[in-house]
Amino acid sequence: MLAGLLALPLPAFAQAAPRRSLDAAVAFPAAGPRDWGQSMRQLRIGLLGGENESDRLGRFGPYRDLLEATFKLPARLFPASDYAGVIQAFGAKQLDIANMSPSAYAGAWLDTNGGVEPLVTTEESDGSISYVAVMLVRADSGITGIEGMRGKAMAWSDPNSASGFLIPRFSLRKQGISPETFFGRTGFAGGHEQAVVAVLQKQYDAAVTWASGQGEESEGFTRGALRAMVEKGLVEMKQLRVIWRSDPIINGPQTVRKELPEAFKEDMRLFHLALPKAHPEIYRQIERGGGAGYREVTAADYQFMIDMRRQEAAERRRRN
């Protein structure tokens, strides 16, 4: 069942006539206090791990400032050391909104018994709402394809990452490859950026991370962890070789606690839908590269990821 879901073209997951950043009628919310703000002392924004904290805070600082200026409510960034930190914070009701990976959203949905809700997701330059997992090796490693990784060391990015763990494992099993026996050694690097660095430093032979899958591979694609590292001068793509790509994965959603007021959710939808045109540099920074903006999504768009996480948990219990 899950294999069939993953193979479906991603537009099939989208709701009927979702609003998009490209719609002419989309306008940035007018600045001013909101009624929902009276029940919230501050807007608490979660930041997933996978990048060093100072860079995350730097990228999201103007975004936080814009939220404060627009809704006249203090906003605070909460950077987590890994994906689990944001998932757990949603469960403890310590966050109001966060840009989640699809797997992290599914984890939060399961942990809160459906207590989180997706609002919008990123739309790529070609109109799709998907990205890919890519497996990387050093360009001088001599490894040119997945078969060359037999018996080698593989770095996963994060146990709650779709592209950095869940989807590669699921996809390799579809190809008849058991990650538990195919690789000689596996481990978690602590994030996407850290996984790529671990390969460059020869701590692992390969790593998986996320990329838009569009644009020039030599530039780190149009968007993603690789593009961000290239722009920061942490890596040159000539140092790396992409040896494997997954099927398309639906982009992760801007996620809020479901119990928050509907007016708050609508303001957050409009804020993000209008952000690329109203404040393009802030949009580019938080999305780690360019794209077409955002598109509305619903919980049904991510049901397959919830099912996949349930399956992974069941298989893990059987192995243990």
**How many Cβ atoms are within 10 Å of 6's Cβ, its own excluded?**
19
Distance CA 29, CA 137 (A): 45
- For residue 316, the model assigns a pLDDT of 75
Nearest 5°: CA angle at 40, between 37 and 45?
100
- Secondary structure of residue 315 in the 3-state scheme: helix
Residue of 155, 134, 152, 133 lying closest to 143 (CA atoms): 152
- Residue 223 DSSP label: B
Distance CA 259, CA 207 (A): 38
- For residue 312, the model assigns a pLDDT of 80
* Bridge partner residues of 118 (DSSP): 255
Q: How far apart are the first and last CA of the chain?
A: 24
- For residue 2, the model assigns a pLDDT of 44
- For residue 146, the model assigns a pLDDT of 96
- Secondary structure of residue 30 in the 3-state scheme: coil
**Checking phi first, is residue 226 left (phi over 0); if not, alpha (psi -120 to 50) or beta?**
alpha
Kindly state the tokens that stand for 146: 């997945």
- Do the beta carbons of residue 43 and residue 74 sit within 8 Å? yes
pTM, to two decimals: 0.86
**Which secondary structure element, helix H or strand E, spans residue 107, and what is its range?**
helix 102-111
pLDDT one digit per residue (tens) for the chain, 320 residues: 344 334 334 444 444 589 999 999 999 999 999 999 999 989 999 999 878 889 899 999 999 999 999 999 999 999 998 999 999 999 999 999 999 999 999 999 999 999 999 999 999 989 999 999 999 999 999 999 999 999 999 999 999 899 999 999 999 999 999 999 999 999 999 999 999 999 999 999 999 999 999 999 999 999 999 999 999 999 999 999 999 999 999 999 999 999 999 999 999 999 999 999 999 999 999 998 878 999 999 999 999 999 989 988 887 788 77
- For residue 16, the model assigns a pLDDT of 56
Cα maximum dimension of the chain:
61
DSSP strand pairing (249-250 vs 293-296): unpaired
Kindly state the tokens that stand for 183: 């690789």
- Residue 124 DSSP label: -
Distance CA 7, CA 248 (A): 8
- For residue 289, the model assigns a pLDDT of 81
Q: Which amino acid makes up residue 247?
A: D
What is 31-86 written as a DSSP string?
Answer: PS--GGGGG-SSEEEEE-SSS-HHHHHHHHHHHHHHHHHHHTS-EEEEE-SSHHHH
Q: Which amino acid makes up residue 62?
A: P
- Secondary structure of residue 252 in the 3-state scheme: coil
Q: Which amino acid makes up residue 137?
A: V
Spatial CB neighbours of 176, under 8 Å, sequence gap ≥ 6:
none
